[in-house]
Amino acid sequence: MLLAKKTVRKTMSLAEQIAQQVAESIVQEELAPGQAITEQSLSDSFQVSRGPVREALRILEKEGLVDIIPRQGARVTHLTINEINQVFELRAVLLGYCAARAAHKKTRDCVEALTRGCAALERNLVSDDSLGVHMDVSAEMNEKLVTEAENLRIQEMVFQLARQTARYTRLGLSEKAARENSVETWRELIRLIAAGNEREAEMLERRRVLDVRQFAARFLDDETSANETADS
């Protein structure tokens, strides 16, 4: 579901591989917000020394997925409205630019790849309606947009945000209405790219990203209110 690291780099260090697998567990909620992650447990799990584990945790801390507390170890960060606003606003700008570049180039390869992806999203909606499938296919479509921009710095920035946004994207697409909205927007975006409408494609892609933020923020607000009610 994450943008592939191969987009910007062909190989990953051991620490980066560990960070990627731990990040996937966080995104899939196998590791819950607030849960402790010890160097020893990761070292045992991956059968490596503590050196690359320590580096992996620093990578995850930089990406906002864990907090490292002195003498206590690492804990999975909690989802916050402030972070969701920051990361999605930046992601919207970056992907909006990529959509504009795709519309400027309007290559057959890009349009066909996005059309295949949209068809897969539509099939998923009317069959199993799997959140995981929707996220995986959308990620591949986003990757195609980013690659089409042919800007390595933007590719790196989008990848760095990918693991942070994935946690919120999972929330934002958890409702069927959000997935239906996503498919509808992708369909229109492909039309704009094929027609070469750069400005319209950029603005629509920004809206698509921010729509997911809105769904996620609402879900997070509802969850926070429910927890406060339960605690009162």
Question: Which amino acid, 18?
Answer: I
- Domains of the chain, residue spans: 9-76, 81-222
For residue 179, the one-letter residue type is: R
Query: What angle (nearest 5°) sits at the alpha carbon of residue 213, between those of residues 200 and 120?
Result: 70
The DSSP code for 6 is G
Chain segment 209-222, per-residue pLDDT in tens:
999 899 888 878 76
What type of residue is 163? R
How much is the pLDDT for 164? 82
pLDDT tens digit sequence for 114-138: 999 999 999 999 999 999 999 999 9
CA-CA-CA-CA torsion for 92, 94, 100, 102, nearest 10 degrees?
-120
Closest to 102 (Cα-Cα) out of 38, 145, 166: 145
Distance (Å, whole) CA 93 – CA 184: 20
- What is the per-residue pLDDT for 1? 37
What is the Cα–Cα distance from 80 to 37, expressed in whole angstroms? Answer: 20
36 secondary structure, DSSP code: E
Mean pLDDT within 166-174 = 87
How would you class 204 by CB atoms within 10 Å of its CB: exposed for 0-12, middle for 13-18, buried for 19 or more? buried
Q: Give the rounded percent of residues in the chain with a pLDDT score beyond 70.
A: 91
Domain 81-222 fold is: Four Helix Bundle (Hemerythrin (Met), subunit A) (1.20.120)
Q: Which of 118, 152, 145, 161 is nearest to 201 (CA)?
A: 145
Reported CATH class of domain 9-76? mainly alpha
Long-range contacts formed by 211-214: CB under 8 A, 24+ apart: 211/172, 211/178, 211/181, 211/182, 211/185, 212/88, 212/168, 212/169, 212/172, 212/173, 212/178, 212/182, 213/84, 213/85, 213/88, 213/89, 213/92, 213/168, 213/172, 214/172
Q: 């849960």: which residue's tokens?
A: 35
Predicted local confidence at residue 34, as pLDDT: 92
Helix (H) or strand (E) holding 74: strand 73-76
Instruction: State residue 68 phi and psi, 5-degree precision.
Output: -100, 115
Decide whether 9-76 matches 81-222 in CATH topology: no
Longest dimension (CA), the chain: 58
Check whether 230 has a pLDDT greater than 70.
no
> How much is the mean pLDDT over the chain?
89
